[in-house]
Amino acid sequence: MAVDVTQFGLREMLKCSLDVRECGRSEPSMESAGRKICRYFYNELVSSDGGRACALVRMYKVHPFGGLPPELQRFARRALRSADGPSIAETDTMRCLALLATVGDEEAWNHRHLSHAHQAIPLPSAQIVSRAPMIAQLIRQFGLDLDDVIRPSPDLLRNTEGKTYGVFHVEEAADSPYIPAQAQFVERYGIRSVLGFGGSLPGADLFAVILFARAHIPPDAADRFRTIALDAKGVLLPHASNGTVFDTPKAPVR
C-alpha cells in the first residue's frame, strides 16, 4: 500500500515504522540496509495524485576519515585539495559525511560510487561546514552545534546514545538558501519540499535519510518522521556496533 506523504498521519507513520524495521532484516551491512530503506521510500511514498513523491532519496553517515574505504578516502582527499582557502591535511580522526545509499530518477543516482560531489564530504572545521548550507542547517535542526559533529566531546559521546535529533525540513525548496543547485536540480526536477530524518549512532556518528520530494510535505507530516528516525536507528545500530558499515568488496574473478 502506497503512503501519501502529503497526508502523513498516524496510520501512515505506523506503516512506515513497521516497513523500515523490516528493511534491515538479515542485511549484511549498514550500506545494504541503507539501500533498502532508500528504495522503500522512493517506491512507496506518493503525492496526493498518486504519483511518485520523491525524485531522490539518500542516506548519509558521519564517519572518521581513517575508517573509510580507500576509494572514499581518495575522494575526500581530493575534496580537501580542491576546497577554497588554505590547504588542510587529512587526519584519521577527521569527520566526513559519507554517502551510504542513494536511489533516484536518474541512473547515476542509484549508485553511490557515481556521485560526482557527495561520496565523502570532509568536515574538518565548523567554518568549512558552514559553507555547505544544507549540511549545516541539517545539523542545527537535529539539535546539534557544528562542533558537536566535527569534534564530539566526551560528554556528547555519553549523552547521545538514546537521543534522536528529529527532522530537517524545508517546506518550500524553491529559492531556499539551504538547498543548493536551484536551477540544475530544484527547478529541473520540480523539487517542492526536502525532508531529512536521523539521529546519532555510537561515537556520536550522525546519520540522516534525506527525501527530495516533488510533493508538498507539510510541517505536521514532517514532524512524524521523528518516530521513523528511531526505527531507522534500530536498523543501523547493530552494524555500527559490529563495524559492518560498508559493503565488503567482492573478490576479483580469476
Q: Assign 156 a pLDDT band (cuts: 50, 70, 90).
A: low
pTM, 2 dp: 0.92
Mean of per-residue pLDDT scores for the chain? 90
Average the pLDDT over 170-180 and give the result: 96
Higher model confidence: residue 214 or residue 252? 214
| Cell 570532509 belongs to residue | 122
Q: Which residues contact 171 (CB under 8 A, 6 or more apart)?
A: 193, 216, 217, 218, 219, 222
| Cell 527532522 belongs to residue | 167
Q: What is the CATH number of domain 3-242?
A: 3.30.450.40
71-89 pLDDT, tens digit each: 999 999 988 887 665 567 7
Q: How far is CA 57 from CA 54, 131, 145, 154, 171, in A?
A: 7, 22, 25, 32, 16
Q: Report the relative pairing of strands 164-170 and 3-4 from DSSP bridges.
A: unpaired
Q: Which of 17-26, 31-40, 153-162 has the highest mean pLDDT?
A: 31-40
Distance CA 121, CA 192 (A): 25
Q: Which of 93, 82, 95, 188 is nearest to 135 (CA)?
A: 95
Domain residue ranges in the chain: 3-242
pLDDT at 208 over 70: yes
